[in-house]
Each structure stands twice: as C-alpha cells, then as structure tokens.
Chain A
Amino acid sequence: MTILEDRPSNPAAGDHDRPVGHGRMQRKEDPRFVRGKGHYVDDIVLPGMLHGAILRAPVAHARLVSIDTTEALAHPKVLAVITGSDLQALGLAWAPTLSMDVQAVLVTDKVRFQGQEVAFVVAEDRYAARDALELIQVEYDVLPPVVDARKAMDPGAPVIRDDLEGRTNNHIFDWEAGNKAETDAVFASADVVVTQEIVYPRVHPAPMETCGAVADFDPIDGRLTLYETTQAPHAHRTLFAMVSGIPEHKIRVVSPDIGGGFGNKVGIYPGYILAVVGSIVTGKPVKWVEDRSENLMSTSFARDYIMQGEIAATKDGKILGLRTNVLADHGAFNATAQPTKYPAGFFHIFTGSYDLAAAHCTVTGVYTNKAPGGVAYACSFRVTEAVYLVERMVDILARKLEMDPAELRLKNFIKPEQFPYPNKTGWEYDSGDYEPTMRLSMKMAGYDELRREQKEKRERGELMGIGISFFTETVGAGPRKDMDILGLGMADGAELRIHPTGKAVVRISVQSQGQGHETTFAQIVAEEIGIPPEDIDVVHGDTDQTPFGLGTYGSRSTPVSGAAVALVARKVREKARFIAAAMLETRPEDLEWEKGRWFVKGDPSVGKTIAEIAMGAHGTVALPEGIDGNLDAEVTYDPPNLTFPFGAYICVVDVDPGTGHVKVRRFIAVDDCGTRINPMIIEGQIHGGLTDGVGMALMEFIEFDAEGNCLGGSFMDYLIPTAMEVPDWETGFTVTPSPHHPIGAKGVGESATVGSPPAVVNAVVDALAPFGVVHMDMPCTPARVWEAMQGRTRPPV
C-alpha cells in the first residue's frame, strides 16, 4: 500500500516536487488516526483486567484522622482498597519527584492540595470502582491553607511540608543567573529604567487524552508490563526500577498512541504507581484512567510565576540591561521536570533576542497548597515565562520612549555576525539572523498600513491593537556535561536496520504524542540513505523495542533524536560503501554517493543501490575485515549544545469598547527553526501552539479560592479556545540552520506556545493605550479588560 499522496508543489513553502527525504508529505500515522483506529491506553483490554479509581481529597490542607474502608470492601465487585498506610507498609507511600523532592503516592499524614490521592479502589469494572469511592469514610481535620504564593514565606504561614526533616517554612530554593553587580551598574547609569510586575498565571496543558495506565504484573516470572500515557518511557522504566525494587530488565514500559502531552505526561503520577500496586496485590492486570476533573486538578500545571521585571535603556532606545526577581509557586510537592542544575528551567534565557550589556535574575520557589508540577504546556523548560517577561518589558519600554515597538526591537537585535552569541546568563546561541525574519513578518502583516488604520480608528473611538513578539527559544536538552534528570543524561539513541530487501526499520527513544515522529524520522532516514520514507518503519514508545533515551518534551525530539537518526543513517551509508566496494570488487574510496546508491567514480553506470547492498550484506558476498554481515547501526547522541529557534509574531486585535471583549482578527507567525524537514508538520505544530497561546492570553486560568478550592476543575470552568476564538493563521518562515546539528534542524514544537502569548497581550495593551494602560496580566477576559479600561488592572493572583 502506498500511503503517500503527491500534493501540488508549493515553492513558497520550500517543498520538493517529490517527497523522498525532506519535504511536504502526508503523515504516515494519519491513516489510522483519521479512521479512528489509533490505539490508546484506554483501548487496551487484557484478559481478567480489573479497574482502579482514586479517592481524592475534597480539601486543600487537612490532617488525615481516619479512613474506614469496610463498606467499600464489602461492595460485591470490589477486590481491593489500598490506603496510605498499606503503601507505608510496602515502603511505597512516597515516591521521588523529578526535582529531587518526594511526593505522596497516597496520603499518610496530611492532605496538601485539593484533589490529592487518598485511597485506591480496585474493582471488576470501572463503574463499581467509582461507586465504591463513595463508600470510603474519611475523617479530616481541616488546616488553614497557603493559597497565595506571596504569603507562603510570611512568618507564621502554615508549614506545608512538615514531612520533611527540620522544615520550618515553605521555601524550596533560591536560584540566580547573570551578574548582579554589573547589572546594577548598568541600571545606575541608564537614562531610562522601567519596572513592571508581570504575572504568568497557572494554566493547564489539558491534553485531549487524560493520563492513565494498565499495569500487568506477572507473579510467576516477576515481570511488569506497564502501558502508560508517558512522554518518556525509558526514564519511567528506570525510575520504576529504582522505586519499586523490580529489576529494570523485568520492566517493560509501553507508551502506545498518546492523545497529546504538552508536558503533562512527563512526570510519574501516583495513579501509575497505584495501578502497579493494584496489579501486584490482586495478581490481575489493573487499568486506571483518570477523568477530566482529575486531570485538571491533580496533574502537572504550568507557569505560576510572579515576575518583577526591570529594563534599562538609553533615551534613544539602546537596551542596556534586564533584571527580574521571580516568585515561583511550585504547589505542594516540588515535582517540576527539568534538568537538575536548573531549578527554574531555562528561565535565564530571559535576555531574549537582544544584545544586552548585563542581565541578572533571581528565582525563589515556594510550596503552596496546590497541585504539584510546574513545567508543562509546551513551555520549553520555562522559556515561555522568560519570553513573556522580556517581550512585555520591551513593549513597556517602547511606550515609555514613545518608540514604535518594531523599531525598538530591530534596533536591539543580536546581529548575525555576533553568532555564536554568548548571552549574559550563560547561554551560547547557536545561530540567528533576526532582522530578515522580523521584516518578513512586518511585510506579511502590512505593518505600516495597520498602524495607519489604527490611527484612524482611534480617532473614531475604536480600539484596535497591534502586538509584536520576537522570541528566541532554547530547545533540545541537552549536553550531558550540563544536563541530567535524576542523574540520567539527556541523550537519545537510534538504531537502524536495513532488511535484505532494502526496507528499513528505525528505532528511536523519543515518543510521539502527536508530533508526527513516524513521518519526520522516516524522512530524515530517507534523505540520508535515499530510500522512500514509506519503506521505513519508525518504532517508538516501547522500552523492549527501542534504545534508551530521555523522551519527548522541551522540543527535543528533532534536535536530539533527529540528530541521532541522521547520524545512524550516515553510519549505515558508510558501512554500505564498504559492502558495495566488496560487491563491485573495488576500493571504498573509489566509490561516490548519490542519493540511494554508491557508484564507481568516473563510471556512474556501475554501482549498487542500498537495496542491492542490503541483500549483499545478508548474502554470500565475501565481506572485508571488520564488516559484519548486516546493514545495521546504532548511535547514542549527546548534543554539543541546544538549538535556538526564533520567530517574529504579529497579532492584531479589536476590542469592543463597551464590553471589553477581545477579538483576535489576524495573527502572522514567521518561524525560523533551521532546516525544515516536513513543512506541513511544522505548520501543524505552529497552528496548535498559536491556538494554545491565544487560549492562555485570553481565557485559560487555574484559579483557587481562599480555601484552596480549585476553580478550574472542569472544561465548564477551565476554558480552552475553540475554532471560534482563533483567526486563520498566516504563517511564514526563514531558514537559519543550526551549525552543530547534523542536518541543521532546530526544535519547533513549542515555538508558537512560547512566542504567541506576549504578541496577543501586547496587542490588547496596545489597543487600550488610549486609556493609559501600560500593562495587564493574562487572562484578558472581557471583565479584566474592562477593569483595565477603568484604570483598575489587577493581577490574577
């Protein structure tokens, strides 16, 4: 079956006429998705499988007085009810988080956030499991909660983590980057300094598929097979081995089709562990799949940064320095996922796309009585917060200087000849050429014409806003000398086998949640060894089938695994040269490569295709010394640096002056992610990320009341955008390859999520300029916009 379909070539999008290798081809995984034949965790049915459900705490902070499971256990279909004290007896009541903290699997001592896991019921079906939850009697002694991160460090604030030895406050960490003395000196001598508190409120990734697992522990051979919604199957297997005591070779983690991750499926949630415990206890497979409210209330949130920003410049608009103090709300357990050295992720790329004299940031993390998590929602390890801060501050500075925000940005960009560019907080930007990207976005938008239209509208009392964001990302974690998660280096493996008939299988350690890996990675191999992508099968998501690696998040698949796949294909190509030489009875150095074929220099008619070479490798040809009889190879790739994609976004909004309602009229997104492997997949990623960004800017917000009740626990309360709220996206691109990536590609999956919120908010604030508004925090709901128009902007938290 041929699943490729030629599409009309689109030179503007950089297509090849025929997609062998890089280019616009339809996704290989789509035939099963568009037919509804994807296979997700909840589709897995094993013989004798039981169903688990979690009882969750109704309050945010409470001492656990007692649990009575008698009535639940008496339910005719209930096989087990597991509580915190049961786990304590097994040594499994607490599990390590990805940030060297611990998290309760089930409450033993104290509830620390609303929705926390209290008990686990295993029953014959999921209906009975849910019904039995209501039969568990729990007595709580309610305690005052810490809801406001600003008050978490107040003397006398309730101490949330009294489980930790010697803990007397809610402080988690202090972290800084950059040079404080130099920055202070730059600020002291600057003509202009502007200051603004900027809040990035708590939001949730809300993937379409919630989290779930099917655990199947075989008591005879001691093997655990765990089907999980995970973005990082190998890391999960290692952590399960470390926590459970089941040896790692006896654990198989399978991540089947995943219905969206966005960082929500990086961590190990209590539900996964409980499914395993349930299977061990009952001797049967146990399925646990959370519902929407459980997903929104208890799994990894994103953002929750309160940032005090300051920017310094000369009066003619040369930006000199940037500094910020951040208060980070990490919830009840520090479970944020990021490289060990960076407790605030990659926030210190907050210098953005600008050539500054100095910069300094401090971040303080605190515990509150809210769900744990912190790095999620396509944030590139906190680059989202960093880009939002700098892009808002630059706009506020432009207002202060009465400069056009596009001109101010153009004036301060890092120049192309400065790359590789060492910024003031320790990054080395690999490549960039910002001005053409910015100019292209302005041309596509008709920027000058938009400003003229805005001027006319303002005279008529209409509110139109134009917002710009120019972001630089840092993605593709990361070099093992700097980056690990719980001691595991952030490398990725790839294995490639060419079968005797010239068809191939490539096994990768990253896991797709919708990014199109089965297509993109086949295209990389196709480009390198010259066989069609439909002849290449991409295997991923099963620890028994794939090489070790740290998984998909932080836009790292193409920068890390993409590099691994290109290099393993080159290794195979080189091996093919030796085998071809043997077959042609010539020397390897006398052969020349054209896509798909080695031929004799000066005599192109004499050569061997990859398929012929593969058959030769597995056949009877006498092979040279040191060459095995196969056409296979494997590599593990340790990236020398991260990649630094960038882009220029322009958003046009209309605000109803009578109601405060914001309509996003246009959105222009010009992205530069280096070499483009499949432009259609890139555009899809951009469309999704822009939609995320509009959602966060206009409506998304996990709010809590004073008692710590989560007010965003369903899609009736936690709003995500629909087709009605987003415009037709206008996308464009420039290409500045990464100098250190084998094919020059950079990550792109999170660019739009990172880059778009400041463009939308800058546009809303620009529309409200006639009211003297210089800043408003997200979400820009009608009520909050109206309050801003009344001169009463207020932070969301």
Chain B
Amino acid sequence: MQIPAPFDYVRASSVDNALALLDRHGAESRVVAGGHSLLPMMKLRLARPDWLIDINDLFELDYLLVDKDVLRIGAMTRHTTLLESDDVKRLFPIITDAERVIADPIVRNRGTIGGSLCQADPAEDLSTVCHVLEAVAVVRGPAGERMLSMADFHRGPYETAVAQNELLIEVRIPIRSDSSSAYEKVERRVGDWAVAAAGASVSLDSAGAISQVAVGLTAVGLDRNVTEVEAVLVGQAPTEELFTEAGRLASLACDPLADQRGPIDYKRHLADELTRRVLRAACRRAAASVSEITI
C-alpha cells in the first residue's frame, strides 16, 4: 500500500466556507474534488499538502443548466453526468465524445470537470474541449468572481490562473446555432494518458460553408487552439482537401515530446490524422443539424 505523508483533512460545507478554509490554512492547503489526480500524487509523495479541503459536499456546484445561449456547468459536475446528459450530446457532442474516452466508469463517477481543468494535465481532454468551445471559467475568491477565457485560465502544463485562495466554480459554454463538434483520442489502453487527441467545433452558414471553426489538440505540447487552420477553412465549403490542409497545419503547430507513448513524428502524424477526422465528423454532424432545422 502506498502511503502519503501526514496531512490534515477538513470538509467544506459551502463555497464560502471552502474559500475561508483555503484562506485559513494557506499555501500548503489543497482542494480535493474527485481526487483522481491529487490522491495518487500524494501516495507517491509527489504532492504533500498539509491540509486537504474536501469540497465533495458542495452539491451547489453540481449542475448542468441551459441558460438562454449558454450551457452552465457547475465545477463539481461529475464526468458521468456530462457523459449521460442529452443536452450536452445535442449541443456539444465533442463533450460526449471526450467523456466517453476519459478514463473508465469508476473514475468518471468521481472525477469532476472542475478538477480536470484545474489539474491542467497536458493530456487532459476537457481543457482542449473547453478551448475549442471557447468556454469561460468562473473563478471565485475573497475579492469576488472573475470570468476568464480559456486562454487566460489555462496557463500551461499543470498551471492555471486560479490563485491559491480561489475556487473554479463554473464553466460557461456559448451555444451556437448550426454548429457541431467532435473529439477523438488515441490511447495505448483505456485509462492511459492520451498519446494524442484532437477536438473540433464548426459552424456552417446557410450555404453550407464553414463560418466558424476551432481545432484543439491534446498531449502534443500545444496549450491553445490551432488558430492557423481558421484562415484556411472559414468561408470554404468543407472538403477532404481542406481537412488535409488543416491536418498538415495542425501537425506543424504542435510541439510534442517523445515518451513511452510514442516518438515525435508519430505524434505529429496523429495531430494531422485526428484533426482531419474530427473536422470531418464535426462538419458531417453540423450539416445534419442544419438539414434537420431546415426540414
């Protein structure tokens, strides 16, 4: 049995209480939600917080809400809830695609969207998904709430803009009409970190041309969307040639490292291959939703 270093533990009863506890226990306190990243790190003694502040009683942060043109997701929403939501599947199939390949059911039953985004693991799927969907992170601290774009929120591997005395409380995703999205991942085994993954969101205009597009990559050293593809795709009718060009650009934009999951050229190849696949799927889905509406 792997045994963490000694620590103290307290359960927060509300968001305000959690913020007060973070304030009281200071720099060596850490918030635990699903615990699937933090607890293994503690057992390996890579993380050694003095205090664990358990926020699993904050049911007030466990919700999914379609609020006019925004999907609001509470930070304590479990992966399983996202995976099983019909609203999510209808509005943002990229989330359903990603959730289906996040770990296994046991992890998904406990893990939360807030925990995933705050861990900011380079192989973390929902960070890419939120970049692609242009999500907004709502962060609360002693000074009140602030709204951060993903570019501002996600600073790089294992690093976010959430300060030690703050809490991510909600993720807001803008709902667009005539749009759809997709995500695909390659992994050595279910539950392993991604070798690489890609996500795409597209909107189509009435003529069927791409009016908006975003492509993101996971685990290949790119903490932003592949903005290079936008100029190539926007205003064009979706074709295999365009997807091929987008794939090429994605493989150039990324900056993967060689590891046990594969060499650099393979990961670049996957950035290319998966970009083409998710664009293809997102355009097909968007076209289907457009035709549904017209009918």
Which residues of A line the B interface, CB within 8 A? 42, 126-127, 130-131, 134, 289, 291-293, 658-661, 698-699, 703, 711, 714, 716-717, 719, 721-722, 724-725, 781-783, 786-787
Contact B262 A781 (CB under 8 A): yes
**Which one of A42, A660, A703, A725 has the highest number of Cβ atoms from chain B below 10 Å of its Cβ?**
A660
Which residues of B are found within 8 Å of A660, using beta-carbon distances?
266
Number of inter-chain CB pairs below 8 Å: 67
Which stretch (B53-61, B72-80, B186-194) binds chain A? B186-194
11 additional A-B residue pairs with CB within 8 Å, beyond A131-B6, A722-B189, A787-B266: A126-B1, A126-B3, A699-B188, A722-B190, A724-B189, A782-B186, A782-B262, A782-B266, A783-B262, A786-B262, A787-B263
B44 / chain A contacts, CB cutoff of 8 Å: 293, 714
In the bound assembly, the distance between CA atoms of A134 and B45 in angstroms comes to 11
Q: Is B188's CB under 8 angstroms from A719's CB?
A: yes
By the criterion CB–CB under 8 Å, are B186 and A659 in contact? yes
Q: Cβ of B189 and Cβ of A127 under 8 Å apart?
A: no
Q: Once the chains bind, are A293 and B190 in contact (CB under 8 Å)?
A: no
Complex interface: chain B residues within 8 A of A717 (CB):
260
- A126–B273 Cα distance when bound, in Å, is 49
Within 8 Å by CB of A721, from B189, B261, B273, B277, lies: B189
What residues of chain B lie closer than 8 Å to A786, measured between beta carbons?
262, 266, 269
Residues A783 and B261 in contact in the complex (CB < 8 Å), given A292-B2, A659-B273, A716-B40: yes
Interface string of B1-29 (1 = CB under 8 A from A): 11101100000000000000000000000
Q: Would you call B214 an interface residue if the criterion is a C-beta within 8 Å of the partner chain's C-beta atoms?
A: no
1/0 per position for B103-120, CB-CB distance to A under 8 A? 010000000000000000
Known contacts A127-B6, A719-B188, A721-B189, A291 near B1 by CB under 8 Å: yes
User: Which residues of chain B are within 8 angstroms of A126 by Cβ–Cβ distance?
Assistant: 1, 3
Bound-complex Cα distance A293 to B44 (A): 9
If over half of B's interface residues share one DSSP class (helix, strand or loop), that class is named, otherwise mixed; here it is loop
Instruction: Give Cα distance in the complex from A719 to B277, angstroms.
Output: 27
A786 to B270, CA, bound (A): 10
Which residue, of B188, B263, B270, has the highest number of chain A Cβ atoms within 10 A?
B188
Which residues does chain B contribute within 8 Å of A703, judged by CB atoms?
A: 260
Given contacts A131-B5, A659-B186, A659-B273, contact A722 B260 (CB under 8 A): no
- What does the 1/0 interface line of B170-210 toward A look like (CB < 8 Å)? 00000000000000001011111101000000000000000
Which A residues lie within 8 Å of B6 (CB)?
Answer: 127, 131
Q: A719 touching B195 by the CB < 8 A rule?
A: no
Q: Are B266 and A783 in contact (CB under 8 A)?
A: yes
Q: A131: which B residues are within 8 A, CB to CB?
A: 5-6
Top 5 A-B residue pairs of the complex, sorted by shortest distance between their CB atoms = A783-B262, A724-B190, A130-B3, A291-B2, A658-B273
A699 to B1, CA, bound (A): 24
Within B139-193, the residues touching A (CB, 8 Å) are 186, 188-193
Interface centre among A293, A658, A699, A703 (most CB of B within 10 A): A658
A263 to B193, CA, bound (A): 29
Measured between beta carbons, the chain B residues less than 8 angstroms from A721 are 189
Query: In the docked arrangement, what's the CA distance between A659 and B184, Å?
Result: 11
What is the bound-complex CA distance between A782 and B188, given in angstroms? Answer: 6
CA distance A724 to B188 in the complex (A): 12
Instruction: Decide if B186 touches A722 in the complex (CB within 8 Å).
Output: no
Interface residue from A127, A782, A783 paired with B3 (Cβ < 8 Å): A127
> B221-258 toward A: CB 8 Å interface, digit per residue (1/0)?
00000000000000000000000000000000000000
Cα of A291 to Cα of B262 in the assembled complex, Å = 28
The answer, among A42, A127, A130, A658, for a CB contact under 8 Å with B277, is A658
Q: Is the CB of B266 within 8 A of A725?
A: no
B5 touches A711 (CB 8 A): no
Question: Which residues from B are CB-within-8-Å of A698?
Answer: 188-189
| Nearest Cβ on chain B to A723's Cβ, whole angstroms | 9
How far in angstroms is the closest Cβ of chain B from A53? 8
- B244: shortest Cβ distance to chain A, in Å? 12
- Closest residue of chain B to A723, judged by CB? B190
Whether the Cβ atoms of B192 and A719 lie closer than 8 Å is yes
- Nearest chain-A residue to B276 (Cβ)? A658
Q: Let me know if B263 and A783 touch, CB within 8 A.
A: yes
Do A782 and B195 touch (CB < 8 A)?
yes
Contact B273–A719 (Cβ < 8 Å): no
CA distance A126 to B5 in the complex (A): 11
Q: How far is the CB of B184 from chain A (nearest CB, A)?
A: 9
Q: Could you list 13 A-B pairs, sorted by A, with CB under 8 Å? A: A131-B6, A134-B5, A134-B45, A292-B2, A293-B2, A659-B270, A660-B266, A716-B40, A716-B193, A717-B260, A783-B262, A783-B263, A786-B262
